[in-house]
Structure 1
């Protein structure tokens, strides 16, 4: 039964049962949405009724009982947390986040350059890049020595988020000790490790704030996301008065940092790897992109931020990658009350799975839906991904759309542009483009089943 909950299997079932169908998984009601028309019904027409997020036992525990933004139920607390993220954490005015992207990509390109002529695992290297970007944006330079430790904690969280737990589907089976016992020990260890790590970070930032106030030489340190969140820090949280400006506790800060790390690491890395794989499979498109880069940027320097708006074909490549490989293939929502969609009753607390992967390949919405064709976005009236074209929703739509979209796109565009501009690429061992394995593995994201390995050679003069 669990194998039916992947984006590909749900798309197959939608071909049989339609764009809206119901599954009963244990005690859970689950509804799959697989067409643009049904997505509009849920994400626009009844957005207010489907703005809650479902959370498993593991997710609830690891997010300090939904103390974050990603899994908090829709309401005053969630609105406050989202406002903090949009205006502070992901804001275009927050120069440090965007600077961390540029500087980490610069360092990454030097690493690739050092391996000219040898096979490199692009997926592995890119995941390291996005982890470095989000770590630096979150914690700045004050905690550089803890990077490896934190990444290990995050990897365990990622495994636990996706771990099958029978209690999520049949709560009355919670007494089964081999299942509950082992999983709960891992959950306790993982959250305990995060507590130790981020408590130290918060204490360091409190000291930094005190020293800065006393002019004791902390002016040179860059501001990071924890600094931004510390503006709202209140150990008691002030959560009894949710309608006004709410203070946030340590648990809120920890949970929000995990949102940022998960939202900005695997999703962006997966999109970069898929873009490079699609380009290496379609040499015509790679050549078109490289020609545009040569014309706009020239062959004597790397791509700068100021070049991005002039790179029309790059934007098309990124859009086509996100259509075929949305960062999160299943967008999870939950019904806040009993309601009716397209004549069908959806019960309260039903888990609603918006299959953005299937929607991006809908044969009624797209010409040649399974073919990588960036030029489709050069046509007048081509859909955009900002949430109002429901045939193309890689970042979701409505109240729960991705707040970090602009920062993620910036990292995606700048990395792909520089990888294609600075280097020519060949596949190893005489592999032909059509031999590339384009299967994915289902999880929180849908990364490539087989990592992309290629050989770079220098292109710039």
Structure 2
């Protein structure tokens, strides 16, 4: 009888497994496409706003097909948890267009590398060396650039200041100096032009990415632009790497030690070895890795931080009572007889709430891109391998089922007990992503963001120009790598401190 019972259990188990294997799961709901091109006609709507509207019709998991590419949009906290936590390993790859693959030296960076041993190596370098909180606070360049930025604004008291332009200049200066050190400042203009061309090529529509046999439509001009852009980056950064290597060698001879400057290139050269024989016993990277990682830092640390600073100031200008509350907190904690320093930040509770609320409404990158490593089933729906998965952090942060008054700027919500945090475990609030592919530069970005907004609110009072009222501010955004303001914020500063600022 026991043998018969075991046999019966065996048959039942096999039947269940075969049933599951044979079951055909449907794709998630979504708009119907046309033959061959699929939903290519909706390309202009595949941004955070358009996908949020599709979610209202089709739900938090929406399927589209553009040419040969399967796409899935995730727009609710529940679906984000299914993707980023329950099956994180399957969704840990990154999609990359042909242009991105070429310009990142075949994914030699961290941002676009597929999940695996190489990516883990790149992330370890970034987390322990490039982006560590200890290192971020030690960067004199961050504080010096913010002080220079405040000094520049102090010369424009009583006149219009374009916050969008000035903060973008600030973040570019910070990341450039942090990456290359003071020895290469004269090349900043050239490098920014290279970055601008990379940005255009990253975002360029290439039909070959979706329908490979139509690749001829883009022609040779596109390929020539790619080759020219990467050649320009090669020439620029190769010279900087060579300069750093000579400097390290000379400084080591003079001082009897190898440690020299504290910039990113120096940090990355600790692991450098073209022939596979780097200094580190366990990690070795090439020149291509260094170039690609630096591009990650420049793209990830300029527009994202600048956009967040500008949005924070815009929201405070629109909600004057919150600006007053932040300034009162600064007066109580810091006083009006000195400027803010980084040691004050931990005591500025309401300022931190303002930053959190800004990131909820305006996440640095509104669409977090992932790619499936294998076929997978999510909430009863099939998502095929190599599908492009778009996590709509912007829509999730405004989800009515997760937030009270989701479209209202309300920093005090983060004073409540058990308020969500952005470390990645609260899926209704993921401005920096979650899981394996969460942003490794979060602490550095927050440091620059909090310190800059604190200085702006503490050093100056602000008014809108031409008698504009707060409710007249244009709060629309435009879609790109980030979602910056459609109309840059222009305001008029007046001195607030009782002491000389410089």
Partner Cα separation in structure 1 for residue 414 and residue 255 of structure 2? 54
Partner Cα separation in structure 2 for residue 94 and residue 325 of structure 1? 27
Q: Are positions 1:94 and 2:135 aligned together?
A: yes
Partner Cα separation in structure 2 for residue 101 and residue 23 of structure 1? 43
* Alignment partner, residue 124 of structure 2: 83
* Alignment partner, residue 286 of structure 1: 323
Partner Cα separation in structure 1 for residue 283 and residue 213 of structure 2? 36
> Which of the residues 372, 375, 378 maps onto 1:335?
372
Match of 2:71, SS? Answer: strand
> Do 1:14 and 1:21's aligned partners in 2 also have CA atoms closer than 8 Å?
yes
> Which of the residues 184, 189, 201 maps onto 1:160?
201
* Alignment partner, residue 247 of structure 2: 208
Q: CA deviation at 1:171?
A: 1.1
Q: CA deviation at 1:448?
A: 0.4
> Which of the residues 393, 403, 425 maps onto 1:356?
393
> Do 1:97 and 1:137's aligned partners in 2 also have CA atoms closer than 8 Å?
no
* Alignment partner, residue 114 of structure 2: 73
Partner Cα separation in structure 2 for residue 452 and residue 67 of structure 1? 37
Structure 1 residues 299-318: aligned runs within 5 Å:
299-318=336-355
> Do 2:110 and 2:296's aligned partners in 1 also have CA atoms closer than 8 Å?
yes
Partner Cα separation in structure 2 for residue 202 and residue 98 of structure 1? 20
Q: CA deviation at 1:246?
A: 3.3
Partner Cα separation in structure 2 for residue 302 and residue 218 of structure 1? 38
Match of 1:3, SS? Answer: helix
Q: Are positions 1:423 and 2:463 aligned together?
A: no
* Alignment partner, residue 178 of structure 2: 137
Match of 1:352, SS? Answer: strand
Gaps of 5+ in 2: 1-41
> Do 1:21 and 1:33's aligned partners in 2 also have CA atoms closer than 8 Å?
yes
Partner Cα separation in structure 2 for residue 55 and residue 331 of structure 1? 13
Partner Cα separation in structure 1 for residue 411 and residue 339 of structure 2? 23
Of 60-69 and 245-254, more deviation after overlay is shown by 245-254
Structure 1 residues 397-408: aligned runs within 5 Å:
397-408=434-445
Alignment root-mean-square deviation, CA: 1.6
> Which of the residues 220, 225, 229 maps onto 2:264?
225
> Which of the residues 202, 222, 232 maps onto 1:193?
232
Deviation readout 1:407-456 (Å, 9 max, x if unpaired): 00000000001001100111111111111110101011000000111111
> Which of the residues 407, 410, 429 maps onto 1:370?
407
* Alignment partner, residue 489 of structure 2: 452
Match of 2:382, SS? Answer: strand
Deviation readout 1:135-158 (Å, 9 max, x if unpaired): 011111111111111111111111
Partner Cα separation in structure 2 for residue 341 and residue 268 of structure 1? 33
Would you identify which runs of 4 or more consecutive aligned residues in structure 1 move more than 6 Å? Answer: 216-221
Partner Cα separation in structure 2 for residue 294 and residue 394 of structure 1? 29
> Do 2:458 and 2:496's aligned partners in 1 also have CA atoms closer than 8 Å?
yes
Structure 1 residues 32-111: aligned runs within 5 Å:
32-94=73-135, 98-111=139-152
Deviation readout 1:317-340 (Å, 9 max, x if unpaired): 000000000000000000000010
Q: CA deviation at 1:38?
A: 0.2
> Which of the residues 276, 282, 288 maps onto 1:251?
288
> Do 1:141 and 1:222's aligned partners in 2 also have CA atoms closer than 8 Å?
no
Match of 1:369, SS? Answer: coil
Deviation readout 1:342-375 (Å, 9 max, x if unpaired): 0000000000000000000000000000000001
Gaps of 5+ in 1: none
Q: TM-score, normalised by structure 2?
A: 0.89
Match of 1:48, SS? Answer: coil
Q: CA deviation at 1:93?
A: 3.0
Match of 1:29, SS? Answer: strand
Q: CA deviation at 1:181?
A: 2.0
> Which of the residues 311, 325, 330 maps onto 1:274?
311
Partner Cα separation in structure 2 for residue 368 and residue 96 of structure 1? 36
Partner Cα separation in structure 1 for residue 250 and residue 164 of structure 2? 41
Partner Cα separation in structure 1 for residue 131 and residue 107 of structure 2? 20
**Number of paired residues?**
455
Q: CA deviation at 1:182?
A: 2.2
* Alignment partner, residue 345 of structure 1: 382
Find the structure with the greater CA-based Rg: 2
Q: CA deviation at 1:159?
A: 1.4
> Do 1:32 and 1:353's aligned partners in 2 also have CA atoms closer than 8 Å?
yes
Match of 2:182, SS? Answer: coil
Match of 1:309, SS? Answer: helix
* Alignment partner, residue 393 of structure 1: 430
> Do 2:252 and 2:259's aligned partners in 1 also have CA atoms closer than 8 Å?
no
> Do 1:271 and 1:327's aligned partners in 2 also have CA atoms closer than 8 Å?
yes
Partner Cα separation in structure 2 for residue 31 and residue 300 of structure 1? 54
> Do 2:248 and 2:259's aligned partners in 1 also have CA atoms closer than 8 Å?
no
Of 205-214 and 309-318, more deviation after overlay is shown by 205-214
> Do 2:68 and 2:211's aligned partners in 1 also have CA atoms closer than 8 Å?
yes
> Do 2:136 and 2:444's aligned partners in 1 also have CA atoms closer than 8 Å?
no
Partner Cα separation in structure 1 for residue 136 and residue 471 of structure 2? 42
